[in-house]
Amino acid sequence: MQQTIKFPSGEVSYVFQSSFDELWKTYDKEHTIIITNEQIAKLYSNLFKGLKILVIPPAESSKALDTIGSLAKQLLEMEATRKTLLIGVGGGVITDIVGFLASVYMRGVSFGFVPTTLLGMVDAAIGGKNGVNLGMNKNILGTITQPRFILYDTGFLDTLPDDEWSNGFAEIIKYACIFDADMFAELNKRNISYYKDENDEALGKLVEKCVDWKNKTVIADEKETGVRKLLNFGHTAAHAIENLYELPHGKAVGIGMVIACMVSTQTAGLDKRVAEQLTTLLTQYHLPVHLKIDARKAMEILKMDKKRKNDMIDYIVLEKIGKAAIQTLPFDVVENALIAYESHN
């Protein structure tokens, strides 16, 4: 199934229930370069036979300017031009890197994504955000440039480790919290095994629903000046914790949502019972809710967040399941929540 979504900056083709090999019915192998990580290259070497391919280490540390420079140099050596199509095959690290690289190489070349992780499918590959880290600061350098296409081949999920399934469900739970109370209720009835092992159709529908929620939000606010900020629920604290403790993104987002609920009970009137329900759901999907943190160190990183406004920060709070809001809060409100979280762990 294919659908084309029109964003302010251009069109993206979403190809669901497809396979990697279908790409070559539309795109010319000779003018395409695959960029992936070492694990994917090894696991799916048969898919890449006869293709031009660049490979990087499968780590968050790859999201750096050094990587962009190295890849750009290799593209030049391969005589890549403005007519070259770059295809990122991998998770969020790959899609961030390829999107950023394609946006700046020769001032912009076409690119597409084949996400191979659940997190990539429901979040990282969608929306046009592409970025790299600068030291401990997440995605400080980046662009908002839409890919030409995103192809969904769920066969890649067959080799996805259990931890990566949990990471993906952190973002799915996020969508349920901020947009969709019915999805939240449905997730409560299920578990990872249901979607992973028992019901491929249910997983496919869940992925498409998440894609739909994110696309609706991005269409309304591609440059993130308003409603798109809601997608940062749980991410403000998560980005600081993720880099400080080298946590996988989804696990950090789970903890970030717990902290966001602590803020929400104070500033948005969130019922504490709802916060408890979310904590239970995160645990149900094998996401950590407890972590020993240094609140002061986390706050030092958080103060460099892109959403900072002098001594204030745009923070996403939850009013109830299915309804989130943007509040511009003093830093000390967030810091107090981090300190309270630290004292309970």
Contact yes or no for 106/82 (Cβ under 8 A) = yes
Contact yes or no for 149/27 (Cβ under 8 A) = no
Q: How confident is the model at residue 305 (pLDDT cuts 50, 70, 90)?
A: confident
Q: How confident is the model at residue 79 (pLDDT cuts 50, 70, 90)?
A: very high
pLDDT over threshold 80, residue 307? no
Structure tokens at 101: 């690289």
Interval 227-248 mean pLDDT:
93
Contact yes or no for 292/301 (Cβ under 8 A) = no
**pLDDT tens, 95-145?**
999 999 999 999 999 999 999 999 999 999 999 999 999 887 888 899 999
**What does the pLDDT read at residue 303?**
87
**What does the pLDDT read at residue 5?**
95
**What does the pLDDT read at residue 200?**
87
- The least confident of 67-76, 129-138, 141-150, 214-223 is 129-138
Q: How confident is the model at residue 59 (pLDDT cuts 50, 70, 90)?
A: confident
The owner of tokens 């499918």 is 121
Mind giving me the DSSP string for 102-137? Answer: HHHGGG---EEEEE-SHHIIIIITSSSEEEEEETTE
Work out the end-to-end distance of the chain between its first and last CA atoms, rounded to an integer number of angstroms.
46
Mean of per-residue pLDDT scores for the chain: 94
**pLDDT tens, 15-34?**
999 999 999 999 999 999 99
Q: How confident is the model at residue 9 (pLDDT cuts 50, 70, 90)?
A: confident
Q: DSSP H helical segments within the chain, as ranges?
A: 38-43, 65-77, 92-104, 118-119, 162-179, 181-189, 192-193, 200-220, 235-245, 249-267, 272-284, 295-302, 331-343
Q: pTM for the complete prediction?
A: 0.93
**What does the pLDDT read at residue 45?**
95
Q: How confident is the model at residue 165 (pLDDT cuts 50, 70, 90)?
A: very high
Long-range contacts of 97-100 (CB under 8 A, 24+ apart): 97/35, 97/56, 97/62, 97/63, 97/67, 97/68, 97/71, 97/130, 97/132, 98/35, 98/130, 99/128, 99/129, 99/130, 99/143, 99/145, 99/147, 100/68, 100/130, 100/131, 100/132, 100/141, 100/142, 100/143
Distance, CA of 17 to CA of 29 (rounded, Å): 22
pLDDT over threshold 90, residue 309? no
pLDDT over threshold 80, residue 3? yes
Q: How confident is the model at residue 80 (pLDDT cuts 50, 70, 90)?
A: very high
Reduced to 3 states (helix: H, G, I; strand: E, B; else coil), residue 308 is: strand
**What does the pLDDT read at residue 199?**
84
Distance, CA of 88 to CA of 34 (rounded, Å): 6
**What does the pLDDT read at residue 60?**
87
